[in-house]
A and B are shown apart, each in its own frame.
Chain A
């Protein structure tokens, strides 16, 4: 078992086995953050993350009205939103990513010098 060989927790061993050891592309792909838990997490993941990553959503802080416009625009642009799910999806987004949520903290790309800020 990789985790026994390396002396790391199983979850990290799994990460190494599936991403880290396969080179740059896989490591990079793994940085995509997930959407928060909630009744619409799975459907939002399928609907929204077909074209863009969760990060695009995580950085928004919008009113319910603004989220409604965004969801309808994205549906027009090809996002598959079941009409029965539209209101719940808007609720999920406007609850988790409302203007009163704490500020989003973006990641940085690594520095050529190797140190992180």
Chain B
């Protein structure tokens, strides 16, 4: 073989012959690898066998995230066989009248819609120091969609929750390898009975895709993504919180912030519920070189069950802050897009930061609360740019 160039030329020819251009080009150009995942568009690949896809922050420019850009988090393998004909949803446990619903029966129940920003509890994990194990999400395990389906409350009322019913457990059809504990969690009955908690069957007006839980998923708005169980097949009312790996030790947060790297005793933790206040800069990109003039700094901000009241921008390393303009589109559990018209004035290197505040008085901190699993990272966001 004479040279790398010849090799690349041959590879490209082979790729065209094979009709598998993206995969083979990615093989020949290891610096720009690309993988085919049908239905997914330019996503950051964190895991393939159980699909974990991160949304690149530059996609945070539409209030509703197109499904092909919506982050995917699977703990286990997706169910191999799924069809609405044989699918059933059971509602049991601490109820007067256990039910089993077919797809046709579920479809006859009145549908309700909620625009919700869904964020993985581990979003931003890779930014924690010291580093912690888990999927090494950057900033993009978060997206927003309009979810539609029957209210969970309606199903629970049909089954008749007993006075002993305190928590509601969800079980999905995902397939568990080895002796890994199944991905089962529960939410308190109050949140389950909230009028915005759904058994969602649609996302942005279309049936759920397989990666997002077809044919039905829980949608627990404002809460960590793990609460919104996909491929839902069983709802069980319990007299206490579900006992299992994904309630403890997983998905728990320290009661008191400790020093980064310190161990946290299980009894000093609580289950994660609602999301933190947070903003992310979608543009300009980190390490971008910009022409001097007007620069549109823009991004998204969200606060779980709370509402964003302001996003501020600093271009001087946090010494001074100016308000960004909040986008018009809003809904209680959805992010707000924001933008800031920046005129750098003179060339040089700049640190651009964003800081969100919500109506509960929470503001993004300078440093995240470190915890052993890297949950709820929400430090002030930052990009470094060069103005030429």
Contacts and interface: CB of A to CB of B under 8 A. Distances in A.
Contacts of B181: 77
Interface string B119-154: 000000010001111011000000000000000000
A61 B180 CA distance: 23
A10 B47 CA distance: 30
B44 interface: yes
A56 B134 CA distance: 8
B136 A109 contact: no
B14 A66 contact: no
B20 to A, nearest CB: 4
Given A27-B23, A32-B49, A62-B133, A9 B34 contact: no
Nearest to B12: A8
B37 interface: yes
Given A24-B38, A52-B47, A108-B35, A8 B13 contact: yes
Contact of A108 (B21, B33, B178): B33
Nearest to A111: B42
Contact of A6 (B13, B42, B68, B132): B13
B367 interface: no
A99 B53 contact: no
B108 interface: no
The interface centre, meaning the residue of A6, A32, A62, A109 with most chain B CB atoms within 10 A of its CB, is A109
B13 A110 contact: no
A109 B178 contact: no
Nearest to B53: A109
Nearest to A98: B131
B246 interface: no
A116 B131 contact: no
A77 B177 CA distance: 9
Contacts of A60: 131, 133, 136
A6 B20 CA distance: 15
A46 interface: no
Nearest to B37: A109
Given A28-B37, A108-B34, A117-B42, A53 B48 contact: yes
Contacts of A19: 23
B45 A107 contact: yes
Interface string A58-85: 0111110010011000001111000000
A54 B21 CA distance: 24
Interface string B2-30: 00000100110111011111111111100
A62 B374 CA distance: 13
A25 to B, nearest CB: 10
A9 B132 CA distance: 42
20 contacts: A7-B10, A7-B13, A9-B10, A12-B14, A16-B24, A20-B15, A20-B18, A20-B23, A28-B36, A31-B26, A55-B45, A78-B178, A78-B179, A104-B136, A108-B44, A108-B56, A109-B42, A112-B41, A114-B21, A117-B42
Question: Lowest 10 CB-CB distances: which A-B pairs, in order?
Answer: A78-B178, A78-B179, A20-B18, A110-B22, A51-B177, A107-B33, A111-B42, A8-B14, A59-B136, A20-B20
Interface of A: 6-9, 12-13, 15-16, 19-21, 24, 27-28, 30-32, 50-53, 55-56, 59-63, 66, 69-70, 76-79, 99, 104, 106-112, 114, 116-117
Given A60-B133, A110-B23, 17 more contacts: A6-B14, A6-B17, A16-B14, A20-B23, A27-B23, A56-B47, A66-B133, A69-B133, A77-B181, A107-B33, A108-B34, A108-B42, A109-B37, A109-B42, A110-B35, A110-B42, A117-B42
